[in-house]
Amino acid sequence: MTSLSVAFPRLTAMHGPSVTSQVVALTRAGLERAHSAGGDPDAQRRLCEGMAFTPPGWLQPGIAARTSFVDEQVTAAIVAGLQQIVTCGAGYDDRGVRFRTQGVRFFELDHPATQADKAARLRAIEVADAVTLAVADFRIDDADAVLARAGHDAGQPSLFICEGLLIYLDLDTCRRLLGALAGRAPSGSVLAASLSAHAEGFDSAAVVAAANRSRRTGAVEPWRTILPVAEHLRLLADAGWRVTEQRWSPASSLDASHGRHGLLVLASPAAP
Ligand SMILES: C[S@@+](CC[C@H](N)C(=O)[O-])C[C@H]1O[C@@H](n2cnc3c(N)ncnc32)[C@H](O)[C@@H]1O
């Protein structure tokens, strides 16, 4: 198979629609998944129409685990009566179409190029109204203001999803984003996040550097935040989230050195 670093020039990663998100979406399109009564079970495949990549098979276990975890949380939120589902770094996530439900609004935030391509794809399959797309670069944009402009109601509870995102953000950006979400999360809100963890006793910057080298994907978005579990939990707590559940998931890499693995967490707003 052609390595990603050859297939996707750096320009594409920096300025075009997210490559990693397309690879994840194509992997997800091959999975058996739940959907809502009014949702489209074929949404992910339809959204991926024409994408030119062949995702590597080793990605599948990690993507399958986090996909079923997040699908479960979306279903639970809808059953619990939450009417706002906010996905940060949504990429080609299909949940607004797959779990379409009367009265539930899906907000998705991502970079401009990815959002433009996603909007065109949603129009092409005639479901543009299923999702409110908002443009944000979490390094510079305030998610609080972006969500307010998009019509998100901070007085009503939401499910916030950060799936496959935080690993791509530096620590300060993770802190700011998680804090902004907590500020829009009244009681009853839930955060579902996937994180990348490494074993205690290693320097996190060295683990990130080694992990990026071993991906053979220098041209796609680099990983930036991989931490020991305790530091992830502290990051969430400092940002205003109380973790209520944690699950392991397979590392989204062939290389699981430094005890690297995925961590799936659910959290509630810490403030009473
Ligand atoms: C691996 S993809 C995951 C996409 C989606 N959550 C999923 O699981 O299918 C990471 C996504 O995060 C987005 N992302 C990365 N850094 C970002 C930033 N600074 N601001 C906004 N979005 C960002 C990318 O554009 C991409 O769509």
Q: How far apart are CA 218 and CA 134, in angstroms?
A: 28
Of ligand 1's listed atoms, the one at least distance from the Cα of 23 is 1
Of ligand 1's listed atoms, the one at least distance from the Cα of 18 is 25
pLDDT digits (tens, 9 = 90+) for 135-155: 999 999 999 999 999 999 999
What is the domain-level CATH number for residue 101? 3.40.50.150
In the reported structure, the alpha carbon of residue 83 is separated from the centroid of ligand 1 by a whole-number distance in angstroms of 23
Report if pTM > 0.85.
yes
- pLDDT higher than threshold 60 for residue 6: no
- pLDDT higher than threshold 60 for residue 7: no
User: Quick one: pLDDT at residue 272?
Assistant: 64
- pLDDT higher than threshold 80 for residue 215: no
Range with lowest mean pLDDT among 122-126, 131-135, 182-186, 267-271: 267-271
Task: Tell me what the mean pLDDT of segment 141-170 comes to.
Answer: 98
Query: What average pLDDT does the chain have?
Result: 91
DSSP state of 227: B
Task: Tell me what the mean pLDDT of segment 211-237 comes to.
Answer: 86
Provide the edge-to-edge strand list for the sheet that holds 261-269: 132-135, 105-110, 84-88, 159-162, 190-197, 261-269, 241-249
- pLDDT higher than threshold 90 for residue 246: yes
pLDDT digits (tens, 9 = 90+) for 92-117: 999 999 999 999 999 999 999 999 99
Q: How far apart are CA 48 and CA 26, in angstroms?
A: 6
User: 269: pLDDT confidence band, cut at 50, 70 and 90?
Assistant: very high
Place of tokens 């901070």: 154
- pLDDT higher than threshold 50 for residue 12: no
CB 83 within 8 Å of CB 104: yes
User: Quick one: pLDDT at residue 4?
Assistant: 25
Of ligand 1's listed atoms, the one at least distance from the Cα of 221 is 15
Output the ligand 1 site: residues, CB below 6 A. Answer: 18, 20-21, 24-25, 89-93, 110-111, 114, 136-139, 163-165, 168-169, 221
In the reported structure, the alpha carbon of residue 204 is separated from the centroid of ligand 1 by a whole-number distance in angstroms of 21
Better-predicted residue by pLDDT, 257 or 219 = 257
User: 121: pLDDT confidence band, cut at 50, 70 and 90?
Assistant: very high
Q: How far apart are CA 41 and CA 35, in angstroms?
A: 6
Task: Tell me what the mean pLDDT of segment 25-35 comes to.
Answer: 97
Torsion of CA 217, 218, 219, 223, to 10 degrees: 80
The residue whose CB lies within 8 Å of the most ligand 1 atoms, and thus the one to mutate among 15, 21, 140, 223, is 21
H/E stretch holding 132 reads strand 132-135
User: Quick one: pLDDT at residue 257?
Assistant: 85
In one letter, which amino acid is 247?
R
- pLDDT higher than threshold 80 for residue 79: yes
Give the angle 217-222-226 at the CA atoms, nearest 5°: 115
Burial status of residue 37 (CB atoms within 10 A of its CB: 0-12, 13-18, 19 or more): exposed
User: Quick one: pLDDT at residue 8?
Assistant: 30
User: Quick one: pLDDT at residue 146?
Assistant: 98
Better-predicted residue by pLDDT, 161 or 254 = 161
The residue range of the domain holding 136 is 4-269
Q: Which of 74, 85, 88 is closest to 239 using CA atoms?
A: 88
DSSP state of 221: P
How many independent structural domains does the chain possess? Answer: 1
CB 66 within 8 Å of CB 142: no
Return the residue whose CA atom lies nearest to atom 23 of ligand 1. Answer: 89
User: 256: pLDDT confidence band, cut at 50, 70 and 90?
Assistant: confident
